[in-house]
Amino acid sequence: MAARSAGVRRLMREASELSQPTDMYVARPLEDNLFEWHFTIKGPPDSPYQDGIYHGRITLPHDYPMKPPSLMMLTPTGRFETNTKICLSISAYHPETWLPSWSIGTALTALIAFMETEPKGALGALDCSEEQRKKLAKESLKWKCPECGCNMKEIFDLMKEQAAQKPKDMDSKSAETVSNVEETFQSDTVEKPADTSQLETKNINGQPENFQETSIPQLAPTSPPFQHIPVTNVIQPVPSRPSDLIQQQQSQPAVANSSSTGLLIFVFSAIFFALLFRRLSSMQ
């Protein structure tokens, strides 16, 4: 419930930011569904689409922006199928490449950049000639959305006014931004096999043969590096061996006996000399 509330707040903020057309796109939610939007994009400059304006639908998950939106075109472009979800690295087909910091404006900028890339048989992609794409670009101005009522010619004129009000250096920056987005986001990654013989084969580990395993980078330790602290040598008494202890215990009685014998000899000698001295004194 909390995630849904956060998503609603995020969508309302984006709706306020995107309500006015820019020189490249405009997007608004439907009146009865905040999680379904209609958008209009201008064809990228210096391309077969530059004179066209294209309308589409965005379906947002309830846990947006944690998960990416689904995109589909409603007007013919010669690049994407109509009423078919487009497989791009910024769409719901590839949630692993989506970042919550991206927005609807980010997705639309990337979609404009993808229009100039090769389809390579991706899901929802078309491979038409340049002449056919130029023809569809001119015809796109006559289209009007039956659901939201957007008139492509009116929006196209508004975008031209926005572009005219921008400084000339901003036009070059816009083209550079589209080019940078094209390099940042890798286009269609899921291709449609022509037949079952073209399905990818897998190795014995269950991975595609062209699968390249990416090693996980080693994380830096969060604790400080180990520091060696020298320890001063402390001389500890070496315990005696059992044999030494036995010899010490056996030698202690001998020392005591020799001390007692010496004391007796000293006492008897003192008594003897005392008696001898007394006898000599009496004879005189």
Instruction: Give the active site residues.
Output: 87
8 A C-beta contact, residue 72 and residue 83: yes
8 A C-beta contact, residue 97 and residue 90: yes
Q: 118-155 as b/e, with b when 16 or more CB fall inside 10 Å?
A: ebeebbbbbeeeeeebbbbbeebbebebeebebebeeb
Q: CA-CA distance, 48 to 126, in Å (whole number)? A: 14
Displacement of CA 95 from its chain's centroid (Å)? 13
Place of tokens 């589909």: 72
The string of DSSP letters for 108-158 reads HHHHHHHTTS--TTBTTB----HHHHHHHHHHGGG-B-TTT--BHHHHHHH
Query: Taking the CA atoms of the chain, what radius of gyration do you get in angstroms?
Result: 47
Place of tokens 């939106």: 69
Q: CA-CA distance, 36 to 10, in Å (whole number)? A: 14
Q: CA-CA distance, 79 to 117, in Å (whole number)? A: 9
